[in-house]
A and B are shown apart, each in its own frame.
Chain A
Amino acid sequence: MKRGVQIVLWLLVAGFLVILPQLATTNYLVNVMITTVMWIIFALSFDLSAGHVGAVSLGHPVFYGVGAYVTALVAPSLGLDFIGSLLLSAFAMGLLALVSGIAFFRISEVSFAIGTLGALIIAQLLANNAYDITGGPMCTQNVPRPVLHIPGSGPVTVVEPVHYYYLLLPLLGLAILIYWRLTQSRIGRAFAAVRQDEVRASAMGIYPKRYKLLAFIAGAAIIGALGSFQAQYITVVCPSELTISYTLNLLIIVFVGGAGSMRGVILGAVLFSLLPRLLEIVTDVPPAWQQLIYGLILLIVIRFLPEGLDSLIERALQRLRGTRTEAKPDAA
């Protein structure tokens, strides 16, 4: 695609996202939009390491939940505002990713996946049992809502979902930008080299651990900021923000959409968030049935579409252009 066309396309998408809430008639619809955008950010940050450097961190929600707790427990005592809290959580989670990454990337890929999952379980158990600090199952309550200082008028506390949506959009833009800059550049090619063959990558002067850490830290910082947003949006942080079902949902989104592809991941996240809402209109589907269907979809896609739904789009686009390119050498 020509660069000009690409920029116009992106501007159109951005414009559409900005106008979208004006079309929504109820807060319910705006909430659905917020959830969708949050899943996109969540999945992009997960895919940075899972889809690009091949380090499947099954404990990825740790950075989300702990990021939320950092905003709920630490930020108010520092007197930080909305953006300050976001930055604090992002920074703290980046730091946590650096420290834990140095330790976790010493171990093999399989151990990494299971070890990080172990870390998630530990985090949730701690959040559940440390009543004095986190409130345990009673949750940390009364997280301050964002206060905006608009010149000309006094401070305004954000309450309306629509306003939260507009606070969230820049975060989505930032996440996409970081994802884009990291994967569509020399760094991105190094990521692919590390994913395909670590030994060969290091023989070519690419130090695998450095790139794994970079992807891991970037993903953690993004999702830490999202956790902070969630804390200030819901104003309550519970141990359930550290649940393993987030991991399962991330895997469904990323592997159904197409690991390692921004278009695929975004498509996966949008489908994942909107399908149940659309189903709701037609019929009442209990959660167990919903999950069952997701599980089956995941299995079917893995079996028949190794590169996810994205490969369907890719094929359709190629047919439009009348070209065919070789399939990617590896499916993450």
Chain B
Amino acid sequence: MPIEVVIFIEHIINGLTLGAFYALITLGLSLIFGVARLVNFAHGDIFMVGGYTLFLLLNLSGITLPYPLIVVLVVVVTALVGLLIERVVIHPILNRSWRVQAVATLGISIVLQNLALILFTSDPKQTPTIYSRQIIEIMDIRISVQRLIILVAVIFIFLALQWFVKHTQTGKAMRAVSQNREMCQIVGIDVPRIAMITFAISSGLAGLAAALMSPLFSVMPTMGSLLTLKALAAVILGGLGQVNGAFFAAFLLGLVEALFSGYVSYAYRDVVSFGLFVLILFVRPQGLFGRRVGL
């Protein structure tokens, strides 16, 4: 194959993995927005907690845990952290305006980031796994196995989530709450409990993203800040509360970012993703796939 084509395909694959990664982060954010109308600025920091959990589990003295088990443990830990945050901070202010809640999540973000800074310092930590160094080659195209794992995992999670919200009692309740909170209270759905479960699932997804993706990057206290914003951009682009729309918008952002940094300018790649986000907002205020919502 000509080298240009190989490079192009590699950029596309990078874009898809980046998109898959953003999609995983975005799914959680979008769920929590849909169900609890909560803009969670701490979402990326829960991802960061997942990153450090991964780092600690990979460096346990004496025992080497298998990677799949580590992934599960990271998801469990982040889900528990999410649960704790929901109980202590979000739950008591569930009925206040979205502004207050958003500021509270920013407060959580400040606390988590500085806690990480105190515990682990600002030095980037490497979290390589056996898969992040393995490269497979198909027709001159080289892909790291870690990237393939992410792509497959995200598609699997997306389908599983679809099944979950359509076929389980809790999933149906989540959909109902996102459509009409007052009505749900009237028919006896425990809305705070649903919000709590959603928060735990959302945090677990952030943990999964951390367990799968941080082997390709490195772990630092601020690793989640820009990520939260990109994922929020995807949530808005997808149409607020539209989980599927947000999922595709995340892939779009990943592709645009990978292609732009590959072909035009690496330094300006974030300018383009955020610029695109703001521009689309002006043209289509309800997002790419959204209907108008009141908030």
Contact = CB atoms under 8 A, between A and B. Distances in A.
B295 A108 contact: yes
A122 B285 contact: no
Interface centre among A108, A252, A306 (most CB of B within 10 A): A108
B107 A298 contact: yes
A298 B278 contact: no
Interface in B281-295: 281-282, 285, 293-295
Interface in A282-308: 286, 288-289, 291-292, 294-296, 298-299, 302-303, 306
A252 B115 CA distance: 18
Nearest to B101: A302
A302 B110 contact: no
A125 interface: yes
B226 interface: yes
B93 interface: yes
Contact of A110 (B110, B236, B271): B236
B35 interface: no
Given A106-B285, A119-B278, A288-B114, A114 B96 contact: no
A21 to B, nearest CB: 33
Contacts of A108: 240, 285, 293-295
Nearest to A249: B110
B62 interface: no
B92 interface: yes
Contacts of B110: 248, 252, 291-292, 294-295, 298
A331 interface: yes
B236 A121 contact: no
A223 to B, nearest CB: 19
B229 interface: yes
Contacts of A129: 267-268, 271
Interface residues of B, number: 44
Contacts of A88: none
A314 interface: no
Interface string B81-107: 000000001001100111110111011
A186 B277 CA distance: 37
Nearest to A51: B99
A111 B99 contact: no
Contacts of A111: 236, 240, 281, 285
Interface centre among A115, A121, A244 (most CB of B within 10 A): A121
Interface residues of A, number: 42
A114 B118 contact: no
B24 interface: no
B270 A306 contact: no
B108 to A, nearest CB: 7
Contacts of A115: 236, 277-278, 281
A332 B229 CA distance: 23
B285 A295 contact: no
Contacts of B104: 298-299, 302-303
A182 interface: no
Nearest to B99: A56
Given A113-B102, A295-B114, A331-B96, A118 B278 contact: yes
A244 to B, nearest CB: 7
Nearest to A50: B99
Contacts of A121: 226, 229, 270, 274
Contacts of B109: 295
A121 B285 CA distance: 20
A58 B139 CA distance: 48
A122 B278 contact: yes
A126 interface: yes
Interface centre among B233, B275, B278 (most CB of A within 10 A): B278
B98 A109 contact: yes
B111 interface: yes
B97 A292 contact: no
B39 interface: yes
Contacts of B267: 129
Interface string A43-63: 000000010001010000000
Given A106-B285, A129-B267, A129-B268, A292 B118 contact: yes
Contacts of B282: 103, 106-107
Contacts of A299: 89, 104, 107-108, 111
Contacts of B106: 248, 251, 298
List 10 tightest A-B contacts by C-beta distance, closest first.
A295-B110, A295-B111, A298-B107, A292-B114, A288-B117, A107-B285, A118-B274, A299-B107, A291-B114, A288-B114
25 contacts: A54-B99, A106-B285, A108-B285, A110-B39, A111-B240, A113-B39, A113-B99, A113-B102, A114-B39, A114-B232, A118-B233, A118-B277, A119-B278, A126-B271, A129-B267, A255-B100, A291-B113, A295-B109, A296-B111, A298-B106, A298-B110, A302-B104, A306-B96, A306-B100, A331-B96
Given A108-B240, A111-B285, A295-B109, 6 more contacts: A111-B236, A114-B39, A121-B226, A126-B271, A255-B100, A292-B115
Interface of A: 50, 54, 56, 103, 106-111, 113-115, 117-119, 121-122, 125-126, 129, 244, 248, 251-252, 255, 286, 288-289, 291-292, 294-296, 298-299, 302-303, 306, 330-332
